[in-house]
Structure 1
Amino acid sequence: MSKMFEELDYAPTPIGAVSLRRRHLLALNTDVFEILLGEEHLMSSLFTASEVALADLGVAALTGENLDVLVGGLGLGYTAQAVLAHETAASLTVVDLLEPVIRWHEEGLVPMGTELVVSPRCRLVQGDFFGLVMSETGFDADRPGRQYDAILIDIDHTPERLLHGGSKSFYTPDGFQALQRFLKPGGVMGIWSDEAPDPAITELLGKAFDEAWAAPVVFENPLQEGREVTQAVYLGRKA
């Protein structure tokens, strides 16, 4: 059996110290990996349904082959892994602000090991996603202005509960318009949310996108039998 608790790494970052922890849950006889920013939980390997749904819903909203996908926020990698499970995804770029999180994947400390690092279709990039949205060149220094079929964002808890203040100006019609410069015609933006769909957020998206909708993601809480959790994926389509 694994150790009951182990801190796999701890490192400072520009927005606070992050840690990667593994603990063994006797009730489920399983190891759980967690990323924390200070004492704030960012992600757990026990709850991944909505991270996977962000990828599945985003890709399902597109047609055609050889899709170029960008994911903002790496975490434990479940959204990125789900994108790569779609054969239509020809390339995947994952942007994350935190160097230690990328390093954990490079060193194989996360549950999926180095799966993302060794994939020829995937590239991990350290950078400020929201800063790059507002930049003139965008997300690819080698191809300024590069456009993607889908840009999927899993960074803040919700568009109203932010990880830090640097993303506040993004969740506005102007911020969404800025992002659309880097979407192909008909391309889709997706946003993960820790809470159930909020009509006000869908309405906000509708002010910037040609089409906007929200999808509830419902799953059972493995720690509380019979209790369901509802989270959300918001989607907006460029004209």
Structure 2
Amino acid sequence: MGVRFEEIDWQETPIGVISLRRRRDPLLDVDVYEVKLDDEYLMSSLFSVAEEELAQLGLAELSGGDFDVVVGGLGLGCTARAVLDDPRVRSSTVVERLGEVIGWHQRGLLPLAESLTADPRNRFVEGDFFAMAAADSGFDPEEPGRRFHAILVDIDHSPRHTLDSGHADFYTPAGLRRLAGHLHPGGVFALWSDDSPDEDFTAALAEVFETAEAHVVPFDNPYGGGTSANTVYVARLTAP
């Protein structure tokens, strides 16, 4: 049995105090890992279904193999792990703004950490995903201008509820066009959101991509005695 509560790490960062916690849930009899930014909960290992579906729904839009993928946001590693579970993936570049979060994985503080750090296809890049999306140099510091087959993002709570007001431009048609410039023809962009499907954002996607769809992803919520849901947006560029 795990400890009832432990604050594994606590760090001051440019965007606030980030902490990694582990607690024993008496109802489910499992260890739960949680990340907080200041007093706001960012993620919990109890609710990882949609983070995994972000990878699965996004990659399902691709045909063939040898895919190069960007994952925007590392967190507990659920999306990154689901990407690597697809044998068609050749490389995964995980962009994370906070070196402290990358350090949790490099130090083996999380259940998925070893499987990510030991996979030769996986690489962590410390950087601001949104600034990199807007720049011509893109997401790979070792190969500026490199294009990818899929870009999967789980950073903000939703297109309307961002962690930083500076992220807002990313969710406009202009911001999405800059992002699309980092994709191969036929490439896929997918986004996790904690909110219900947003028609305005789906319309913005449709201005840039050939197809755009909002998927509602339900999951069991043991505390509410029923189900909750997240949204995964999936958009694909015109194939060559």
TM-score, normalised via structure 1 length = 0.97
Cα pair 1:149 1:188 within 8 Å, conserved: yes
1:178 is aligned to 178
Cα pair 1:72 1:96 within 8 Å, conserved: yes
Counterpart CA distance in 2 for 1:166 and 1:10 is: 25
The one-letter code sitting in structure 1 at the alignment partner of 2:142 is D
The one-letter code sitting in structure 1 at the alignment partner of 2:39 is E
* Counterpart mapping for 1:73-222 below 5 A: 73-222=73-222
1:233 is aligned to 232
Q: Once the two structures are superposed, what CA deviation does each residue of 1:8-67 show, in whole Å capped at 9, x if it has no partner?
A: 000011111100000111111111000110011111000000000000001101001101
Cα pair 2:5 2:21 within 8 Å, conserved: yes
1:236: Cα distance to partner?
1.3
1:67 is aligned to 67
Counterpart CA distance in 2 for 1:166 and 1:45 is: 28
Q: In the alignment, is residue 13 of structure 1 matched against residue 10 of structure 2? A: no
2:55 is aligned to 55
1:130: Cα distance to partner?
0.3
Cα pair 1:69 1:91 within 8 Å, conserved: yes
Q: Once the two structures are superposed, what CA deviation does each residue of 1:127-185 show, in whole Å capped at 9, x if it has no partner?
A: 00000011121111221110000000000000100011221111100000000110000
Counterpart CA distance in 2 for 1:163 and 1:50 is: 19
TM-score, normalised via structure 2 length = 0.97
* Bigger mean CA deviation after superposition, 136-145 or 65-74: 136-145
Counterpart CA distance in 1 for 2:70 and 2:113 is: 21
Counterpart CA distance in 2 for 1:166 and 1:105 is: 27
Q: Which aligned segments of 4 or more residues in structure 1 are displaced greater than 3 angstroms?
A: none
1:191: Cα distance to partner?
0.5
**2:208 partner SS:** coil
The one-letter code sitting in structure 2 at the alignment partner of 1:171 is Y
1:29 is aligned to 29
Alignment identity in percent? 47
Counterpart CA distance in 2 for 1:70 and 1:83 is: 9
Counterpart CA distance in 2 for 1:231 and 1:113 is: 24
Q: Once the two structures are superposed, what CA deviation does each residue of 1:97-122 show, in whole Å capped at 9, x if it has no partner?
A: 01110000000101223211111010
Counterpart CA distance in 1 for 2:111 and 2:163 is: 23
**Structure 2: runs of 5+ lacking an equivalent:** none
Counterpart CA distance in 1 for 2:166 and 2:31 is: 33
Cα pair 2:188 2:236 within 8 Å, conserved: yes
Counterpart CA distance in 1 for 2:222 and 2:91 is: 33
Counterpart CA distance in 2 for 1:220 and 1:3 is: 24
**1:58 partner SS:** helix
**1:231 partner SS:** strand
**Structure 1: runs of 5+ lacking an equivalent:** none
**1:125 partner SS:** strand
Counterpart CA distance in 2 for 1:51 and 1:158 is: 13
**1:114 partner SS:** helix
**2:10 partner SS:** strand
Aligned positions, number: 238
Counterpart CA distance in 2 for 1:210 and 1:65 is: 21
Cα pair 1:145 1:181 within 8 Å, conserved: no
